[in-house]
Structure 1
């Protein structure tokens, strides 16, 4: 059953949108009337429409809306020296120092090695985490790498064309030089790729004789680190949550289409 069908149970669509933080109930009503709201892929324009927040999928202007108030999504700027684990058996600094004060129990989506800093997503949404972390869904990550030596344009092209590593071929999606140090000792390079393989950026630069000195992940899918300070945690905005859910739902639909 969808919101466009007559039903007496469930929650009024505009109330659900307001509860999800999309807009006030009055503005949510306007969004519905303007035909900007979809329920289960169909545009709904009736203000009396009701939905089941646990099963119906709602989108506004093509962006998915999370109706489950218990789902939480956070961005962490992970410092160096911290392992991407909620419990490290070797006693090294782990992520719990950043999550202990959160009301919900969350876990990290993917990993950054201890020497790499930057954007790490934390959530209690297992379904979304599976999609975002799985390499077959191709979520892009952008890194800023400080590497040894002066990187030539030919080297960037080599990384784009693909190189062979011990666990198979790999190529970056995009790469550009941001800054070449005046003493020729280091180069700052921005690289974007969708691989989730272990220490992949470091291994790629090792393979072209430009070892990484410092590495920061600035972007994960639609999420940007921005000015979030090292060690800080913030909850994602409604727009950011919607962007992640849109990716996850599209991936899920693609998988079902292959069956």
Structure 2
């Protein structure tokens, strides 16, 4: 999701912090939340199509950033990634990796000068799409709901703490608006969400640790997206979501968190109550 402390620390006239984008962010964020949680709750093909379309938009915006001179390529890569993300979830297990490799190979060929950024970014987007589909279908709606809430909680807590408290920057060279106050607030929010779910669903308090780790992964994903934008001189990845920028600005944290959780669930089988 979006940089937890984007716009945090901005100062307006008279040295006061500005909150001018809050109303627009709340409205567009509410609409997006209703759509996301609606698709998540319905599940089945609705959720798969939602994630598939989201994947296509993410890759389209990425290519729009890295190759603005070729909008046709951006659209084609968006469609290809959407199709491969959907096909991978329906194919037999041995076909998943070859299917997800197709967009990576095309990215390697079409963006030779920007492979070091583009290929890992596309890989993470596709893995996160497969993860969101798999967590919902195989582990159950509760765990996908937990994942969405902890990423959103990281984002919201970071935004308000960064705005209200400000303070030292976390990584000014890559993301000049990200503050330590917002970063730590995001960890605390994720820990609280993990504790609530650990209490409701008997999975053990290790879920609190996993929640904080996923929050950190989300924040690192935010920083990586900021680095990509900074490398091409862009403030936002797009303009599709008023107050938030582009789809990549909104869902960048979800990419990192989902990949981490998918890896943990696949390798360790934790949480034990999943599915």
Interval containing the TM-score (normalised by the shorter chain): under 0.3
**Greater fraction of residues in helix:** 2
Work out which structure has the larger RCO, using CA pairs closer than 8 Å and 6 or more positions apart in sequence.
Answer: 2
**Which of the pair is proportionally richer in strand?**
1
Task: Look at both structures and tell me which one has the larger radius of gyration over its CA atoms.
Answer: 1
Q: How high is the TM-score relative to the length of structure 2?
A: 0.25
Structure 1 length as normaliser, TM-score?
0.26
